[in-house]
Structure 1
Amino acid sequence: MSEQIVTPESSTPVVLNNETKINLLDLNRQQMREFFKNLGEKPFRADQVMKWMYHYCCDNFDEMTDINKVLRGKLKEVAEIRAPEVVEEQRSSDGTIKWAIAVGDQRVETVYIPEDDRATLCVSSQVGCALECKFCSTAQQGFNRNLRVSEIIGQVWRAAKIVGAAKVTGQRPITNVVMMGMGRAIA
Protein backbone atom coordinates (compact mmCIF):
# COMPACT_ATOMS: atom_id res chain seq x y z
CA MET A 1 0.00 0.00 0.00
CA SER A 2 1.34 3.43 -0.90
CA GLU A 3 -0.02 6.69 0.46
CA GLN A 4 0.76 10.35 -0.18
CA ILE A 5 2.01 11.72 3.13
CA VAL A 6 3.49 15.07 4.20
CA THR A 7 6.88 14.73 5.83
CA PRO A 8 8.05 17.02 8.64
CA GLU A 9 10.88 18.34 6.47
CA SER A 10 8.55 19.88 3.91
CA SER A 11 4.95 20.27 2.93
CA THR A 12 5.52 18.23 -0.22
CA PRO A 13 3.68 14.90 -0.21
CA VAL A 14 5.87 11.84 -0.53
CA VAL A 15 4.99 8.22 -1.12
CA LEU A 16 5.06 6.18 2.04
CA ASN A 17 5.52 2.44 1.74
CA ASN A 18 4.84 -0.35 4.22
CA GLU A 19 8.41 -0.27 5.54
CA THR A 20 8.38 3.40 6.54
CA LYS A 21 6.04 4.91 9.10
CA ILE A 22 5.67 8.60 9.87
CA ASN A 23 6.41 9.37 13.53
CA LEU A 24 3.55 11.69 14.43
CA LEU A 25 5.75 13.32 17.09
CA ASP A 26 7.69 14.87 14.18
CA LEU A 27 4.63 16.76 12.89
CA ASN A 28 3.36 20.16 14.01
CA ARG A 29 -0.39 20.94 13.97
CA GLN A 30 -0.41 22.17 10.36
CA GLN A 31 1.59 19.18 9.14
CA MET A 32 -0.65 16.82 11.13
CA ARG A 33 -3.75 18.31 9.51
CA GLU A 34 -2.16 17.92 6.06
CA PHE A 35 -1.23 14.34 6.96
CA PHE A 36 -4.87 13.54 7.77
CA LYS A 37 -6.08 15.33 4.64
CA ASN A 38 -3.75 13.13 2.59
CA LEU A 39 -5.30 10.10 4.30
CA GLY A 40 -8.71 11.30 3.07
CA GLU A 41 -9.78 12.46 6.54
CA LYS A 42 -11.09 15.77 7.84
CA PRO A 43 -8.56 18.06 9.61
CA PHE A 44 -10.32 17.73 12.98
CA ARG A 45 -9.00 14.16 13.14
CA ALA A 46 -5.53 15.65 13.62
CA ASP A 47 -6.78 17.56 16.66
CA GLN A 48 -8.33 14.40 18.08
CA VAL A 49 -5.12 12.40 17.71
CA MET A 50 -2.99 15.26 19.06
CA LYS A 51 -5.21 15.45 22.13
CA TRP A 52 -4.61 11.75 22.77
CA MET A 53 -0.87 12.19 22.17
CA TYR A 54 -0.29 15.29 24.26
CA HIS A 55 -3.04 15.31 26.90
CA TYR A 56 -3.02 11.59 27.65
CA CYS A 57 0.50 10.59 26.50
CA CYS A 58 -1.12 7.88 24.41
CA ASP A 59 1.00 6.08 21.82
CA ASN A 60 -1.48 3.29 21.01
CA PHE A 61 -4.01 4.05 18.27
CA ASP A 62 -6.32 1.30 19.58
CA GLU A 63 -6.77 3.25 22.83
CA MET A 64 -8.01 6.34 20.96
CA THR A 65 -11.67 5.49 21.45
CA ASP A 66 -13.15 8.54 19.69
CA ILE A 67 -11.35 7.56 16.46
CA ASN A 68 -13.22 5.04 14.31
CA LYS A 69 -11.73 1.57 13.90
CA VAL A 70 -11.12 1.97 10.16
CA LEU A 71 -9.00 5.09 10.72
CA ARG A 72 -7.18 3.46 13.64
CA GLY A 73 -6.30 0.58 11.33
CA LYS A 74 -5.09 2.97 8.64
CA LEU A 75 -2.97 4.86 11.19
CA LYS A 76 -1.34 1.64 12.39
CA GLU A 77 -0.30 0.92 8.79
CA VAL A 78 1.29 4.30 7.98
CA ALA A 79 2.11 6.03 11.26
CA GLU A 80 3.50 5.59 14.74
CA ILE A 81 3.92 7.60 17.92
CA ARG A 82 7.45 6.76 19.02
CA ALA A 83 9.25 8.71 21.69
CA PRO A 84 12.89 7.97 22.53
CA GLU A 85 13.35 5.36 25.25
CA VAL A 86 14.76 5.95 28.72
CA VAL A 87 17.86 3.77 29.08
CA GLU A 88 18.98 4.95 32.52
CA GLU A 89 17.46 6.87 35.40
CA GLN A 90 19.06 8.58 38.40
CA ARG A 91 16.98 9.99 41.26
CA SER A 92 18.18 12.52 43.81
CA SER A 93 16.90 12.93 47.36
CA ASP A 94 15.50 16.37 46.43
CA GLY A 95 13.20 14.79 43.81
CA THR A 96 15.34 15.63 40.78
CA ILE A 97 15.31 12.89 38.16
CA LYS A 98 17.90 12.59 35.41
CA TRP A 99 17.21 10.31 32.47
CA ALA A 100 19.59 9.09 29.80
CA ILE A 101 17.51 8.89 26.63
CA ALA A 102 18.48 6.81 23.59
CA VAL A 103 18.47 8.71 20.30
CA GLY A 104 19.65 6.34 17.64
CA ASP A 105 22.88 4.78 18.88
CA GLN A 106 23.66 7.73 21.16
CA ARG A 107 22.34 9.21 24.41
CA VAL A 108 21.15 12.60 25.57
CA GLU A 109 19.99 13.80 28.96
CA THR A 110 16.63 14.99 30.19
CA VAL A 111 16.34 16.38 33.73
CA TYR A 112 13.18 16.86 35.82
CA ILE A 113 13.63 19.44 38.62
CA PRO A 114 10.70 19.78 41.05
CA GLU A 115 10.40 22.85 43.25
CA ASP A 116 7.75 24.06 45.70
CA ASP A 117 5.78 26.07 43.14
CA ARG A 118 6.78 24.50 39.81
CA ALA A 119 8.58 21.65 38.06
CA THR A 120 11.08 22.31 35.30
CA LEU A 121 12.07 19.86 32.60
CA CYS A 122 15.41 20.43 30.89
CA VAL A 123 15.47 18.78 27.46
CA SER A 124 18.41 18.24 25.15
CA SER A 125 18.38 19.75 21.69
CA GLN A 126 21.67 18.31 20.39
CA VAL A 127 23.92 15.31 20.59
CA GLY A 128 27.27 16.69 21.68
CA CYS A 129 28.34 20.31 21.71
CA ALA A 130 30.38 22.55 19.41
CA LEU A 131 31.50 25.04 22.09
CA GLU A 132 34.64 23.10 23.11
CA CYS A 133 34.61 24.31 26.74
CA LYS A 134 37.62 22.68 28.45
CA PHE A 135 35.73 21.93 31.70
CA CYS A 136 32.78 20.18 30.04
CA SER A 137 32.77 16.47 29.24
CA THR A 138 30.09 16.92 26.57
CA ALA A 139 32.27 19.46 24.74
CA GLN A 140 35.06 16.89 24.58
CA GLN A 141 32.74 14.66 22.51
CA GLY A 142 32.36 17.34 19.86
CA PHE A 143 29.16 18.23 18.09
CA ASN A 144 27.36 15.32 16.43
CA ARG A 145 23.95 16.61 15.34
CA ASN A 146 20.80 18.49 16.21
CA LEU A 147 17.96 16.32 17.44
CA ARG A 148 14.87 15.64 15.33
CA VAL A 149 11.57 17.18 16.43
CA SER A 150 10.35 13.76 17.62
CA GLU A 151 13.49 13.34 19.71
CA ILE A 152 13.00 16.72 21.44
CA ILE A 153 9.22 16.53 21.83
CA GLY A 154 9.65 12.87 22.72
CA GLN A 155 11.72 13.79 25.78
CA VAL A 156 8.89 16.00 27.06
CA TRP A 157 6.34 13.34 26.16
CA ARG A 158 8.31 10.56 27.90
CA ALA A 159 8.91 12.64 31.05
CA ALA A 160 5.25 13.73 31.19
CA LYS A 161 4.20 10.10 30.94
CA ILE A 162 6.55 9.06 33.78
CA VAL A 163 5.70 12.02 36.01
CA GLY A 164 1.99 11.70 35.22
CA ALA A 165 2.04 8.07 36.32
CA ALA A 166 3.67 9.22 39.56
CA LYS A 167 0.93 11.75 40.44
CA VAL A 168 -0.42 9.34 43.04
CA THR A 169 2.87 9.72 44.92
CA GLY A 170 2.68 13.51 44.83
CA GLN A 171 5.00 14.17 41.88
CA ARG A 172 4.50 17.73 40.62
CA PRO A 173 3.44 18.03 36.94
CA ILE A 174 5.83 19.72 34.51
CA THR A 175 5.17 23.49 34.37
CA ASN A 176 8.32 24.77 32.60
CA VAL A 177 10.47 23.40 29.80
CA VAL A 178 14.05 24.57 29.26
CA MET A 179 15.99 23.79 26.08
CA MET A 180 19.64 22.90 26.50
CA GLY A 181 22.47 21.34 24.59
CA MET A 182 23.22 17.77 25.56
CA GLY A 183 24.49 18.48 29.06
CA ARG A 184 26.97 16.24 30.83
CA ALA A 185 26.43 12.62 29.84
CA ILE A 186 25.54 10.17 32.60
CA ALA A 187 28.72 8.28 33.42
Structure 2
Amino acid sequence: RYIEGETKRKVTFEYVMLDGVNDSPAQARALVKLLKSIPAKVNLIPFNSFPGSEYRVSTQETINRFRDILVKAGLITITRRTRGEDIDAACGQLAGKVTDRSKRKLKHVKEVPITWVI
Protein backbone atom coordinates (compact mmCIF):
# COMPACT_ATOMS: atom_id res chain seq x y z
CA ARG A 1 0.00 0.00 0.00
CA TYR A 2 2.87 2.37 -0.72
CA ILE A 3 0.56 4.47 -2.91
CA GLU A 4 -1.80 5.59 -0.15
CA GLY A 5 0.17 8.74 0.59
CA GLU A 6 0.77 9.65 -3.05
CA THR A 7 -0.99 12.53 -4.70
CA LYS A 8 -2.50 12.15 -8.16
CA ARG A 9 -0.11 9.49 -9.42
CA LYS A 10 -1.62 6.33 -10.87
CA VAL A 11 -0.18 2.84 -10.91
CA THR A 12 -0.04 1.41 -14.43
CA PHE A 13 -1.08 -2.20 -14.87
CA GLU A 14 -0.13 -4.04 -18.06
CA TYR A 15 -2.75 -6.66 -18.98
CA VAL A 16 -1.98 -9.05 -21.86
CA MET A 17 -5.17 -10.13 -23.62
CA LEU A 18 -5.20 -13.90 -24.22
CA ASP A 19 -8.09 -15.37 -26.20
CA GLY A 20 -10.28 -17.54 -23.99
CA VAL A 21 -7.88 -17.28 -21.04
CA ASN A 22 -8.35 -13.88 -19.40
CA ASP A 23 -10.59 -11.85 -21.70
CA SER A 24 -14.16 -12.53 -20.55
CA PRO A 25 -16.56 -9.90 -19.18
CA ALA A 26 -16.46 -11.72 -15.82
CA GLN A 27 -12.67 -11.35 -15.73
CA ALA A 28 -12.98 -7.66 -16.61
CA ARG A 29 -15.35 -7.19 -13.68
CA ALA A 30 -12.95 -9.12 -11.42
CA LEU A 31 -10.13 -6.79 -12.50
CA VAL A 32 -12.33 -3.77 -11.70
CA LYS A 33 -12.97 -5.20 -8.24
CA LEU A 34 -9.26 -5.88 -7.70
CA LEU A 35 -8.27 -2.33 -8.67
CA LYS A 36 -11.17 -0.44 -7.10
CA SER A 37 -9.14 0.95 -4.19
CA ILE A 38 -6.02 1.70 -6.25
CA PRO A 39 -5.56 4.83 -8.36
CA ALA A 40 -4.91 2.83 -11.52
CA LYS A 41 -4.41 3.03 -15.24
CA VAL A 42 -4.71 -0.16 -17.30
CA ASN A 43 -2.89 -0.88 -20.55
CA LEU A 44 -4.56 -3.69 -22.49
CA ILE A 45 -1.94 -5.40 -24.61
CA PRO A 46 -3.04 -7.67 -27.47
CA PHE A 47 -0.96 -10.85 -27.28
CA ASN A 48 1.68 -11.20 -30.00
CA SER A 49 1.50 -14.80 -31.14
CA PHE A 50 4.63 -16.68 -32.13
CA PRO A 51 5.31 -20.16 -33.52
CA GLY A 52 4.84 -22.84 -30.89
CA SER A 53 2.69 -20.73 -28.58
CA GLU A 54 -0.51 -22.26 -27.26
CA TYR A 55 -2.05 -18.79 -26.81
CA ARG A 56 -3.86 -16.58 -29.32
CA VAL A 57 -4.70 -12.90 -29.37
CA SER A 58 -8.20 -11.91 -28.29
CA THR A 59 -10.42 -10.56 -31.06
CA GLN A 60 -10.71 -6.79 -31.38
CA GLU A 61 -14.39 -7.08 -30.44
CA THR A 62 -13.49 -8.95 -27.24
CA ILE A 63 -10.79 -6.41 -26.35
CA ASN A 64 -13.23 -3.53 -26.94
CA ARG A 65 -15.89 -5.17 -24.75
CA PHE A 66 -13.30 -5.77 -21.98
CA ARG A 67 -12.08 -2.15 -22.24
CA ASP A 68 -15.63 -0.78 -22.12
CA ILE A 69 -16.29 -2.58 -18.82
CA LEU A 70 -13.14 -1.06 -17.29
CA VAL A 71 -13.90 2.43 -18.62
CA LYS A 72 -17.51 2.34 -17.38
CA ALA A 73 -16.13 1.46 -13.93
CA GLY A 74 -13.98 4.61 -14.02
CA LEU A 75 -10.60 3.09 -14.87
CA ILE A 76 -8.39 4.88 -17.36
CA THR A 77 -7.87 2.17 -19.96
CA ILE A 78 -5.72 2.22 -23.09
CA THR A 79 -5.54 -0.51 -25.73
CA ARG A 80 -1.99 -0.76 -27.01
CA ARG A 81 -1.40 -0.91 -30.72
CA THR A 82 0.76 -3.77 -31.88
CA ARG A 83 3.73 -3.01 -34.09
CA GLY A 84 6.30 -5.22 -35.75
CA GLU A 85 4.13 -8.35 -35.78
CA ASP A 86 4.40 -8.66 -39.57
CA ILE A 87 8.15 -9.23 -39.25
CA ASP A 88 8.05 -11.22 -35.98
CA ALA A 89 9.58 -8.29 -34.09
CA ALA A 90 6.65 -7.41 -31.84
CA CYS A 91 6.97 -7.44 -28.06
CA GLY A 92 7.74 -10.96 -26.85
CA GLN A 93 8.43 -12.40 -30.29
CA LEU A 94 12.17 -11.78 -30.43
CA ALA A 95 12.82 -13.63 -27.18
CA GLY A 96 11.98 -16.94 -28.82
CA LYS A 97 14.64 -16.40 -31.48
CA VAL A 98 17.52 -15.61 -29.14
CA THR A 99 20.13 -18.28 -28.60
CA ASP A 100 20.99 -18.76 -24.93
CA ARG A 101 24.77 -18.59 -24.81
CA SER A 102 24.96 -18.23 -21.05
CA LYS A 103 24.88 -22.00 -20.45
CA ARG A 104 22.14 -21.53 -17.83
CA LYS A 105 20.35 -24.60 -19.14
CA LEU A 106 23.42 -26.73 -18.50
CA LYS A 107 23.21 -26.30 -14.74
CA HIS A 108 20.00 -28.36 -14.78
CA VAL A 109 21.55 -31.27 -16.67
CA LYS A 110 22.45 -34.19 -14.44
CA GLU A 111 25.88 -35.70 -14.75
CA VAL A 112 25.74 -39.27 -15.93
CA PRO A 113 28.53 -41.47 -14.59
CA ILE A 114 30.67 -42.99 -17.31
CA THR A 115 31.05 -46.73 -17.11
CA TRP A 116 33.64 -48.63 -19.04
CA VAL A 117 33.02 -52.02 -20.50
CA ILE A 118 36.04 -54.08 -21.51
Q: TM-score range by the shorter chain?
A: 0.3 to 0.5
Relative contact order (alpha carbons < 8 A, sep ≥ 6): 1 or 2 greater? 2
Q: TM-score, normalised by structure 2?
A: 0.32
Greater share of helix residues, 1 or 2?
A: 1
Rg larger in structure: 2
